Structure 1
């Protein structure tokens, strides 16, 4: 039933004879509707806010869990980098020792620092506001890896230099007199001043005299080329070997020459036999070593074998 500016609603249940009536004015209805909409809107707002916060917290927790795992991985990597850096320090020490052995100068400390130095740059991005320190950790590891890579590169370059020097020195070592030219025998006269066994005059003896039986085999003390293989008055049958790098050796008073001028020989090759030719009083081998034209004590060039 409708009255002016109001509505009447009559309700009667089938099982109940009582009649219930409600009177609503339009104004009351409008207020009721507005209040209902306000309550519903507020509920939806807070519900959405709660849901958003819930989802955000879940996502943030997941990110934090991932960060914890990533942080552990980064710490493990950092530990390995520290270990490798310590190993590189050990290699660096050995490299210095090898350089000394190879007669190479040490790498200048300023050059070494320039080659492997560098500051750790800190990078910051928006993710630091979510997970502080992540970018800083990653940036630090990047700089550590770069530092280690440059350190390895410098050491490799250094060892290449050492290797080239050792290879060159190895080739040179083949040409440096380093063994006894005759096995056995007796060292009768040493390097230096002595009384000449023939005329008794005190003269400088430029080599060593090995007392051996005639026909004792003579071996080349190093790689080289036969420069002279002939007979001359005082020297008798003799051989001269040019070993390059400034080294020459002489073998005097032989009974037989087994090589020819210009022939290449290697350390340990048979070159002749001992004798008593030329200015000599008994079978022996007179042996000389010259470096850049200056006579050297052959005893300083016996790196293997035993001198009696």
Structure 2
């Protein structure tokens, strides 16, 4: 209780007690805050050490593993990943089929791989965390690319090659299979020397393909550019938002873009071609290999096409709602 005497404040025993208790409480709170901050900093340091490979048990681990089969036995390979991945196909040098993994993984994923075996001539590799639980201190800052090398005795033996990638980039080299399928929810796709019926798709990211041979090729990007060259077979591409460039097309083509320019160069063997854009220019170079007829239309823009040929039943069609069309 506060007391005054002769207009002056007099501190009572109760006031002294309350003041003392308040001081003690403030001191306790400060100590708890300091201890809490120390714990957080220690946790972050430990986390960084783990993820950077400096020690500990909870961070990323260097993982190497080889799966081995008799020559010609591997028929299907599936890879599911949330990491950047590079896959290389090489000839076998020992008469066996092998799949070798080398990279840096979260401990849980590393354990998953250790338990992975080949079933019915099929190997499925999962580089995704199976647990859906929330972990406050699970941050993956590992920048490393995961490397997978596939050595086959017969390059044409693989019937199915499938990849499903989440928010990561993918690189494929020298892949041969009856069916090749790759899809990513977000990330760039780079592919070199593919052979087989092929589908490459990303919801957000660029696609770059150099040298493909097969019956049909499907390329799709929800948001990103598409670049492909040296294509021997029938090609279908669809870019919702991005540029499309096709160099050295040697089969039939169906090229679509909702918003973005289209550039196509034909090579010997090109047949019917249809290019359409909602908003964007279309430019087609025949390199004097095409002797068919032409059909072009735009609602807003200029159109330039050569005279129709008479020695071929094939046709080039180009349509855009808004943009110029040039065929030469």
Fold shared, TM-score > 0.5 on shorter chain: no
User: Which of the five TM-score ranges fits, normalised by the shorter chain?
Assistant: under 0.3
Query: Which structure's residues are more often strand, by fraction?
Result: 2
Using the size of structure 1 for normalisation, the TM-score is: 0.25
The answer to which structure, 1 or 2, has the higher relative contact order (CA under 8 A, 6+ apart) is 1
Find the structure with the greater CA-based Rg.
Answer: 1
